[in-house]
């Protein structure tokens, strides 16, 4: 009885603070769906939904100690089913082979790849000699080579070319970033490239609203670039229309190395600043008219106007996941203002997170969602503590600067682990760069962007864009200066699968739990960092094409090739926390590379295979070409074998090599497409 009374008392302390756990419980269920290695059958999903309903009904009749637990379990079940429902809803055909031939489709997306090549996303796809049932809903084609004879890309234009397509590739190593899953939710059934000109097949479609918005975006992007030009114009189009195609790789590197790359993404910062500018301007205008100010709810009207502006910004920016997430958060805050409630609270953050998880459960697995809500939650909590504690930020003239410093420090501190886990880098001077840049975004850049939008119908937007350019020029200069400082960017190894969940749950436990057990969250955070510190990287990594092998040495990972498979090489080294270039890592490679007594030999190309004699039982042979005959009594990993397994990792356990494949790690899911055995 004493235990039950203690539990009841503990749960009574949580009253008024339980809503914050709703998105947490949903996220646990969603994460569970993505972690299982076999696609749940329909009876399982129906059983979970029925179980959730029963638990919700029973919760009304359970004791105070048990009712919240029942609701939490039910929410986890609902989250699992939400993720499954979304995964089935976005499904479509995935190309099951390498294709070369005619490609025809309608342009619905224009961007650039990491290699700076223009990319076209096409829907209503037609492939030569491929039936409609097997044709992907969307394909993405990168334009390489001389494209001077290609037609100018325009949203809605139906185009044709001849090129290569292949299924979305699996992880570059077991447990790595799963591009197959990413492509599934983006409805991409194939990706590829062409070196041939892209020709027009039919005029641009005019009726579809989404394409009309895309055309407006591209027209606005071209107008901004024409007014500002160079990286400044590219930066301006990125934060106004979401088009990053005009900013150079050099500028991108500087922004990443200085922890300013978040300014490129139309996220909560931009959406919040734009809404704040519109809200403040409208309220100021309304307050200038005494009759209106005394009789009308000016705050609610200004909030409604800001919401309209935010909605327009969402449409203009392309409505990607990050922007949708930011819009939901801003809409919740403005809705609270219109209802006379506190705009920024942990409850508002929880509502926004819940809506995003319901609409796009897959967003949970991406760095955008994790970093955005880590920063927002931490900022709301910290400034809430300052407000409740009635702590002064200093004299009025100094308070904005202190608030900016606190905001940058808190956001940087709480997003750093997420960024390091996903991108394996830490910007050592990111706080300095943000303190020198973020205030300018609020004071100059975003107000100028709003001014440009207002002045555009009058043909005077170039004045506001010029002012906007001054602020962006300063930010790029800060990024370049900070990036050039020696040691500006550090590298960390990738964490294990449980590290980020532990850190997130520990952080949220500290914020949401009421009572003495709050300190348990700190223990979870410490455990998460301890697991990260102890994480061990695989001794051997083998690419799924057989084109590259990487082996850990005392100097770092040695790569079997100085060129080729650059994307895979870069990911392996980054996950090792190694900033070395591929060519330098290849210098570590030696002909007699051994792991646990096994010699690892990489044969790249037909000549290397032909020149190799017979192998022995103490050797592991990796080849980049399919072998037509046996090389002897050894383990042979050629492209035919690797297509079945995906990338391979090897670890040492008790002095023996333990091999794991990407197929074993990923399992059999809707988005995984392994060849039949």
List pLDDT tens digits, range 10-55: 777 777 778 889 999 999 999 999 999 999 999 999 999 999 999 9
Alpha-carbon gap, residue 275 to 453, rounded angstroms: 14
* Helical H segments across 441-486, by residue range: 446-455, 461-483
Q: What share of the chain is helix, strand, coil (3-state, %, to 5)?
A: 55, 15, 30
Cβ atoms < 10 Å from Cβ of 640: 14
Alpha-carbon gap, residue 240 to 465, rounded angstroms: 11
Alpha-carbon gap, residue 97 to 642, rounded angstroms: 15
Residues whose CB falls within 8 Å of the CB of residue 257, separated by 6 or more in sequence, listed in order: 425, 427, 479, 482, 483, 488, 489
Alpha-carbon gap, residue 331 to 627, rounded angstroms: 59
Cα Dmax for the chain = 95
The model's confidence at residue 670, banded by pLDDT at 50, 70 and 90, is: very high
The model's confidence at residue 318, banded by pLDDT at 50, 70 and 90, is: low
Q: Which two tokens stand for residue 140?
A: 């993405």
The model's confidence at residue 542, banded by pLDDT at 50, 70 and 90, is: very high
Residues whose CB falls within 8 Å of the CB of residue 628, separated by 6 or more in sequence, listed in order: none
Locus of tokens 């947490």: 24
Summarize the confidence of residues 334-343 as an average pLDDT. 76
% of the chain surpassing 90 pLDDT: 33
Cβ atoms < 10 Å from Cβ of 588: 18
Mutual angle of helices 298-316 and 209-228, in 10-degree steps: 90
pLDDT of residue 477: 93
The model's confidence at residue 516, banded by pLDDT at 50, 70 and 90, is: confident
Beta bridge pairs of residue 122: 107, 139
- Where is pLDDT greater, at 651 or 445? 651
Residues whose CB falls within 8 Å of the CB of residue 3, separated by 6 or more in sequence, listed in order: none
- Where is pLDDT greater, at 94 or 15? 94
Residue 416 backbone dihedrals phi, psi, to 5 degrees: -60, -45
What is the chain's mean pLDDT, rounded? 85
- Where is pLDDT greater, at 66 or 668? 668
Alpha-carbon gap, residue 71 to 18, rounded angstroms: 10
- Where is pLDDT greater, at 215 or 453? 453
Beta bridge pairs of residue 558: 551
Reference 583, options 561, 599, 600, 616; nearest CA is 561
The pairing of strands 549-553 and 540-542 is: antiparallel
pLDDT above 80: residue 342: no
Q: Which two tokens stand for residue 576?
A: 């090792």
Residue 589 backbone dihedrals phi, psi, to 5 degrees: -75, 135
pTM for this model (two decimals): 0.87
pLDDT of residue 1: 46
């Amino acid at each position: 009885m004493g235990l039950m009374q203690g539990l009841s008392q503990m749960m009574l302390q949580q009253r008024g603070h339980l809503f914050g756990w709703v998105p947490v419980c949903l996220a646990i269920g969603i994460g569970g769906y993505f972690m299982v290695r076999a696609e749940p059958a329909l009876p399982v999903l129906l059983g979970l939904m029925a179980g959730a309903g029963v638990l919700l009904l029973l919760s009304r009749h359970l004791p105070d100690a048990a009712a919240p637990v029942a609701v939490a379990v039910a929410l986890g079940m609902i989250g699992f089913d939400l993720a499954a429902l979304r995964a089935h809803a976005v499904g479509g055909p995935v190309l099951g082979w390498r294709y070369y031939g005619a490609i025809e489709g309608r342009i619905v997306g224009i961007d650039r790849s990491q290699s700076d090549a223009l990319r076209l996303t096409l829907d209503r796809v037609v492939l030569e000699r491929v039936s409609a049932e097997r044709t992907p809903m969307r394909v993405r084609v990168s334009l390489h080579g001389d494209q001077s004879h290609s037609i100018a890309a325009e949203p809605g234009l139906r185009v044709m070319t001849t090129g290569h397509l292949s299924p979305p590739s699996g992880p570059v190593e077991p447990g790595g970033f799963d591009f197959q899953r990413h492509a599934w939710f983006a409805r991409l059934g194939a990706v590829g490239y062409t070196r041939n000109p892209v020709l027009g097949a039919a005029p641009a479609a005019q009726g579809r609203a989404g394409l009309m918005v895309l055309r407006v975006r591209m027209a606005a992007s071209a107008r901004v670039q024409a007014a500002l030009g160079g990286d400044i114009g590219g930066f301006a189009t990125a934060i106004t229309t979401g088009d990053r195609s005009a900013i150079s790789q050099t500028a991108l590197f500087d922004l990443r190395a200085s922890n300013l790359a978040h300014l490129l993404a139309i996220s909560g910062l931009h959406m919040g600043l734009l809404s704040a500018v519109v809200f403040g301007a409208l309220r100021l205008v309304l307050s200038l008219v005494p009759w209106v100010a005394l009789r009308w709810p000016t705050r609610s009207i200004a909030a409604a106007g800001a919401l309209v502006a935010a909605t327009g910004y969402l449409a203009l920016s392309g409505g990607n996941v990050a922007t949708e997430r930011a819009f939901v958060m801003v809409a919740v805050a403005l809705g609270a203002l219109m209802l006379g409630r506190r705009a920024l609270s942990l409850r508002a953050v929880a509502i926004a997170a819940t809506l995003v998880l319901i609409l796009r459960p897959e967003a949970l697995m991406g760095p955008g969602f994790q970093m955005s809500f880590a920063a927002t939650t931490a900022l709301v909590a910290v400034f809430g503590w300052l407000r409740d504690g009635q702590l002064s930020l200093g004299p009025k003239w100094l308070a904005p600067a202190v608030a900016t410093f606190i905001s940058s420090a808190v956001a940087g501190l709480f997003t750093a682990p997420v960024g390091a886990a996903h991108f394996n880098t830490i910007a050592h001077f990111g706080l300095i760069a943000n303190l020198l840049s973020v205030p300018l975004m609020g004071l100059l850049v975003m107000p100028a962007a709003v001014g440009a939008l207002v002045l555009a119908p009058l043909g005077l937007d170039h004045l506001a864009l010029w002012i906007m350019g001054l602020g962006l020029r300063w930010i790029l200069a800060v990024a370049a200066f900070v990036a050039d400082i020696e040691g500006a960017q550090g590298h960390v190894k990738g964490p294990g699968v449980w590290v980020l969940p532990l850190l997130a749950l520990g952080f949220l436990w500290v914020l949401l739990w009421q009572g003495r057990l709050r300190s348990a969250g700190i223990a979870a955070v410490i455990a998460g960092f301890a697991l990260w510190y102890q994480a061990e990287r695989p001794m051997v990594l083998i690419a799924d094409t057989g084109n590259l092998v990487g082996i850990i040495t005392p100097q770092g990972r040695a790569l079997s090739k100085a060129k080729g498979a650059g994307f895979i090489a870069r990911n392996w080294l980054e996950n090792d926390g190694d900033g070395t270039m591929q060519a330098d890592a290849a210098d570590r490679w030696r002909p007699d590379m051994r792991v646990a007594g096994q010699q690892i030999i990489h044969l790249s190309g037909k000549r290397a295979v032909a020149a190799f004699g017979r192998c022995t039982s103490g050797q592991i042979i990796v080849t980049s070409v399919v072998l037509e005959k046996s090389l002897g009594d050894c383990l042979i990993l050629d492209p035919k074998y690797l297509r079945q397994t995906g990338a391979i990792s090897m670890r040492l356990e008790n002095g023996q090599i333990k091999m794991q494949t990407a197929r074993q790690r990923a399992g059999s899911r809707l988005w995984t497409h392994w060849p039949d055995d």
